Amino acid sequence: MKKLGKYIGANIRDKVVIVRVDYNVPLKKEGAGLVIADDRRIRASLETIKELHDHNAKIILLSHVGRPNNKPEPDLSLQPMAQHLQTLLDFPVKFVAESIGEPVLKAVASLNPGEVLLLENLRFHEGEKQNDPHFAHLLASLGQIYINDAFSTAHRAHASTVGITQYLPSYAGKNLEKEVEALRKIKDEPDRPLVVVVGGAKISDKVDAIVNLSKVADVVLTGGGIANTFLKAQGLEIHQSYVQDAPADLKKKGIDYIHVAQDLLERTRTEHVWFKEYIPLPKILYPLDVIAAKSMDAPETQIIDLTHAMEDSHQDKSLMYLDIGPKTRQLYKEVLSMAKTIFWNGPMGVFEKPAFSAGTQAIAQAIASNSGTTILGGGDTMASIEGLDLEDKFSYISSAGGAALEFLAGKELPGLKPLIVQPEA
């Protein structure tokens, strides 16, 4: 089996070490300045940084934030992240308002062993996203060792994730390693039953992961906008509900997500899972009932029982399905309670609106109370559990949306490839 290249103390002691972190964190205005709204990704980098510090290394941190247009944008500076990092460490954290050139060379030259230097947003230069070898070489020339601790950017071949590895011995950081291991276990050897819960809106990002996970999962529970696609694939009316269409290039090839869903339902039709020991459940489940309204802001909501919808000739065609209903919550909760491993990506409804948040909360609570391995991923999924006081109750919360989905889809991530070494024979 292939293994991630892990560094050991001897690799890093007294060295100048470049670490790719992901400080692309949400910011909020406070007074005249910007402060960090959620520092999870910064905290995730502390283990590697502290270990480097303990080995007397000089630590240079690289990151991007947001999508600047290849030029400096004051609102997308990494300076607030440096300030925040300083509050989490009891040794010096410095910041330099450039990522290449004279100011950086000076800052590195005056760095003492054990100190941290965060460089400015890499994406202020077009070389970063273009994976430009010259830009990558300039970054690499600042240090002796490269560590990638930003799994969330591993699905992109950029100068700081791929190009730089051409020039330096390259290793996996602690956070990256943990994240890969948690996801690999789900994909390759989950404790069974494995229940995958998918919801949210962006089926385009998730479809490959859903297809791949439906091969390993014992049950797939669908909710949110994604479930609408499955309902439609089953021939049920979804009226004004949200469904995401396939992009034009896929459509040209005759692919649309309704077909993908039909295909999946067809392929797994004979794969039953024994629920409560005597009821055969299909592998892919979609809602039995939904909370519907005329719009997301409509004051009135109603429960639609989909198991009878086909026979109902008076359906209100102006409705949108905005959350999973009470029967579905109950069924999903019971399925989740028998799981040994759960992977959850995507809210079950429009959780941002209190009228449509109960389904997501019920599922979050059911997953949190499961004593097996429970992994949650996705930006909105993370946001949906805020304030529920459940964070500590999951085995792992992955902040790598796209990278995690591509990994679970079975794709090779360009940022991981250069860190992977064959074990010695």
Report what 322 binds from ligand ADP, Mg ion, none; CB cut-off 5-8 Å by kind. Answer: ligand ADP
The half-sphere exposure of 203 on its side-chain side, counting CA atoms within 13 A, is 22
Q: Does 379 bind Mg ion (CB under 5 A)?
A: yes
Sign of CA dihedral 13, 14, 18, 22: positive
Residue 283 CA to residue 268 CA, distance in Å, equals 6
Residues 284-343 close enough to bind ligand ADP by CB under 6 A: 321-322
Tell me the per-residue interface mask from 218 to 237 with ligand ADP, x by CB under 6 A, - otherwise: ------xx------------
Q: Least Å distance between CB 383 and Mg ion?
A: 8
Nearest 5°: the CA angle 92, 415, 22 is 35
Do 25 and 42 contact (CB within 8 A), yes or no? yes
Nearest 5°: the CA angle 332, 338, 340 is 115
Maximum CA pair distance of the chain?
A: 77
Q: Does 401 bind ligand ADP (CB under 6 A)?
A: yes
Catalytic residue among 184, 185, 202, 267: 202
Q: Does 175 bind ligand ADP (CB under 6 A)?
A: no
**Is 379 among the residues known to form the active site?**
yes
Q: Does 380 bind Mg ion (CB under 5 A)?
A: yes
Catalytic residue among 184, 192, 353, 379: 379
Contacts of 267 (CB under 8 A, 6+ apart): none
Structure tokens at 3: 């293994």
Applying CB under 6 A, among 133, 379, 410, 414 the residue interacting with ligand ADP is: 379
Structure tokens at 337: 């309670």
Contacts of 272 (CB under 8 A, 6+ apart): 280, 281, 282, 283
Q: Does 197 bind ligand ADP (CB under 6 A)?
A: no
Q: Does 143 bind ligand ADP (CB under 6 A)?
A: no
**Is 106 among the residues known to form the active site?**
no
Do 293 and 355 contact (CB within 8 A), yes or no? yes
From 225, 352, 239, 252, select the one nearest 293 (Cα to Cα). Answer: 239
Report what 372 binds from ligand ADP, Mg ion, none; CB cut-off 5-8 Å by kind. Answer: none
Q: Least Å distance between CB 109 and ligand ADP?
A: 42
The residue count for the chain: 425
Report what 275 binds from Mg ion, ligand ADP, none; CB cut-off 5-8 Å by kind. Answer: none
Which part of the chain contacts Mg ion (CB under 5 A), choosing from 83-91, 174-182, 256-264, 375-383? 375-383
Give the number of residues in contact with ligand ADP, rule: CB under 6 A: 20
List of residues contacting Mg ion (CB under 5 A) = 379-380
> Looking at the annotation, which residues are catalytic?
41, 202, 379, 402
Residues that bind ligand ADP (CB under 6 A): 199-202, 224-225, 242, 321-322, 345-347, 349-350, 352, 378-381, 401
